[in-house]
Amino acid sequence: MRRIVIDKDSRGTIAIYWTITAVIALLAAILIKSAWILVPILVILAAFAFFVFWFHRVPDRDIPEGDDSLVTSVADGKVVVIERVYEGEYFKGDCIQVSVYMDFFDVHTNFWPVTGEISYYKYHPGKYLLAFLPKSSEKNEHSSTAIRNSRGEVFFKQIAGTFARRIVCYSEEGMSVERGHQCGIIKFGSRIDIFLPLDSEILVKEGDFTKARITPIARLK
């Protein structure tokens, strides 16, 4: 049986939500005398506390074998965009964009899509538009990371959504990373945009559901 691991940067968040939930439960127990009202409230609060704990887990999954060409999903979620676009921050040219949208119930822990060296990183403060809107890629709070290896480069963005107010990213320029290992977490509702060279072989289609660290997204040529 695989053990449940909680994201190290989320323990404080969990503690805050659990404390608030406990205070509300205590006040409810003091103020509400009817068991028919109190019990459902306590059940809902307990379910919420468990959800907060479960939401911040780091999934224990086997990383598929592959060389430097294999690109795997950064996050759990639904593929909502596959298109040729102009990427102006890093590539400064046309590339293929693959976007994965995470809803409220998806695992929000993120993982390096390829093995290589981080060639670029930048954090961008911003707005909190709905993450599935096209404008969210540029206007929302997000972090940008590029990874270079022997087969090319992959550039991806961790984008905050309406309910996500904090992005954790481990990127540092010059750091060596391994595909499938944790690169950070986005808290509560968000999206990942992955930008690939035009000659990449795309292995997913719009509407597919991906699993972080195990679903192949593309192969670099």
Asked if 171 is an active-site residue, the reply is: no
Q: Which of 99, 143, 144, 190 is catalytic?
A: 190
The runs of H, that is alpha helices, within the chain are: 11-31, 35-55, 136-139
Phi, psi of 38 (to 5 degrees): -65, -45
Q: Let me know: does 123 contact 169? Beta carbons within 8 Å.
A: yes
Please, which residues have CB within 8 angstroms of residue 106's CB and are 6 or more apart in sequence?
75, 76, 77
Q: Let me know: does 165 contact 207? Beta carbons within 8 Å.
A: no
Name beta bridge partners: 180.
none
The amino acid occupying position 194 is I
Name beta bridge partners: 196.
96
Which residues are catalytic, by number? Answer: 190
